[in-house]
Amino acid sequence: MTLLMNGTGVSRGIAIGPVRLLHEIQPQARRKKILASQKRAELNRFRKALSRSEEELSTAKEQLPTSGSGTVISILDSNIAMLHDPALVEPIENYISEHLYSCEWALAVQRDELFQMFDAITDPYLRQRSLDVEETIARLLKHLKRRPAKQKKTTQSPQKFVLVSKNLAPSDLIQQQHAGLIGAVTQGGSQLSHTTIIAKSLNIPLIVHARHAMTLLDESDKLIIDGAQGTVIVNADAATTRSFKSQQSSARKARKQLDSLKARATRTRDKQQAHVLANCSEPADISKAKRLGTEGVGLYRTESLYLNRDELPDETEHFKLYRKLITKLKGDPLVVRTMDVWSSRRAPGLEQHVPMSRQPALGLRAIRLCLRHPELFLPQLRALLRAAHYGPLSMLVPMVANVQEVRDLLQMVDVTKAHLQRQRFAYNPNMPIGVMVEVPSAAISARLIAPLVDFMAIGSNDLTQYTLAMDRDDENVQPLLDPLNPAILHLIRETVKACDQHDVPVSLCGEMAGDPLYTRLLLGLGLRQFSMHPSSALEVKRQIISTDVGKIEKIARAMIRANSPLRSQRLLERINSV
């Protein structure tokens, strides 16, 4: 019998294959104490589990294809770093050596204490980071058991399958792909989880939030999953299977055709110039972005400089990174987003100076933190000004909410330039300075902000969640997060108009920028710069060069006045069919 299930598609593509269920291992962590004479042996057990866990993650890194994204490597490296984090390891060893807890009980107690810390934070996004801790603890508990025998190598190609699980760790995704995984369906998950990021980087179709999948599906079933639509078809009939196989074949041909677009100019059919840029988090991402024909980096995130370390990066460390990026780009533009460390993982060096807010998404972060604590921001600002002397580097400041913040920022920049001048450092006095439009007040004030800056960048993810008052990572409201909401489109359009009026470049660097479904709509709203995950670049470029903007502008602007989601969807279909 054919069954249709729905979830949330987070990594595009179609996969067809038999089900393989991945049951969660539930290691026992019962309350148990050891004898004092067993203390050394128990500590050795724990350290072996740490070693085996690191070996597992290192193996996952080795199994990455040669074209694997630097982002994937950085995620695995951060998971390895957690295994060496004193905040996790030392209390566990103390429970064993001082309180004579068994390894399993020590891990369980430390896990519960960390979860209580996360639960005390009301922001759901930050609480979601407890998944990193949960995954690490589960991995350690697994490796406390006897080490499984190594599988024998075989020259036979692995059987392809669609993995179904409750949740899926990043390392499991990579290792299962090596064993034949072609797609995955999970009951939990998130659009911004590490697993999702890796699935996109490796072009693995992934659907999350497929309720009751583990209960309803069996390994005798055959699945068709559509990662774009979020649909799961169980035991489809022959006609449906043929249709999806045809779509698969067409997609493969289209991907091959995309390669021919790498060197082609990014102009619309009616000769309007556009630009496709990359969002990057690691130097290795830039190589992939260049291979895929992007025209530079529209957003380089600097959070990795601050995470999982006890000291803050100094000016020299910042400067060396930015010089390295400029060298890799060979003249292409580089936009560096300044520090905005507030949610993703621990940043103990920063937390020593600034206590974590109970509402991090709304608290002292980004430009607010930089203005309140300039001593924390100045090493980065000085390094950016100095690095800009060697290539086309621009500074992008996130979370601006009002004009006064921009004025205060520019005053700080002027003072810093004067200090560099007196100290006889080489720097670029004309380094472009831009701000991100992520807060509705910034979009509404765009006409006042635009004359003060060199460029602006719209962060559609945050703009959507703050405008609709919905946490984008709370799975209970994710279906309601609609980027086509007329209020969102109105704010985007007004920001673009304000920038055009003052001849200030403006880009969009959220999820909308990398979704070909929205490319024509954004062109119709006046946008000409798109910054996205490199893997989406060629598909977006294809949409741009196939668009006659003059034919869709009126329809795009009509979407700002749409009075229902159904009306919005129909207008979008018209835009994409012209």
Catalytic residues: 194, 509
Dihedral angle, C-alpha 90, 91, 92, 93, nearest 10 ° = 50
Which value, in Å, is the radius of gyration of the alpha carbons in the chain?
25
Q: Name the residue among 325, 371, 292, 337 with its Cα closest to residue 462.
A: 337
Neighbour-count burial for 210-249, b at 16+ CB within 10 Å, e otherwise: beebbeebeeeeebbbbbbebbbbbbbeeeeeeebeeeee
Residue 488, CB half-sphere, CA atoms under 13 Å: how many? 27
- Residue found under tokens 């090493």: 379
Contact 349, 310 (CB under 8 A): yes
Neighbour-count burial for 530-549, b at 16+ CB within 10 Å, e otherwise: bbbbbbbbbbbbbbbeebeb
Q: Name the residue among 369, 429, 374 with its Cα closest to residue 400.
A: 369
* E strands, 205-320, in order: 206-208, 222-226, 231-234, 275-280, 297-300
Distance CA 60, CA 63 (A): 5
Q: Identify residue 129 by its one-letter amino acid code.
A: R
Helix (H, G, I), strand (E, B) or coil at 570: helix
With a CB cutoff of 8 Å and minimum separation 6, the contacts of 122 are 358, 359
Cα distances from 288 to residues 195, 294, 299, 537, in angstroms, run: 19, 9, 15, 11
Helix (H, G, I), strand (E, B) or coil at 158: coil
- The pair of structure tokens assigned to 515 is 């979704």
Q: What is the 3-state secondary structure (H, E, C) of 502-516?
A: CCCCEEECCHHHHCH
CA 293 to the chain's CA centroid:
20
Contact 198, 173 (CB under 8 A): yes
Contact 526, 557 (CB under 8 A): no
- Residue found under tokens 């497929």: 210
Helix extents (H) in 179-237: 194-201, 213-216
- Residue found under tokens 């930050």: 126
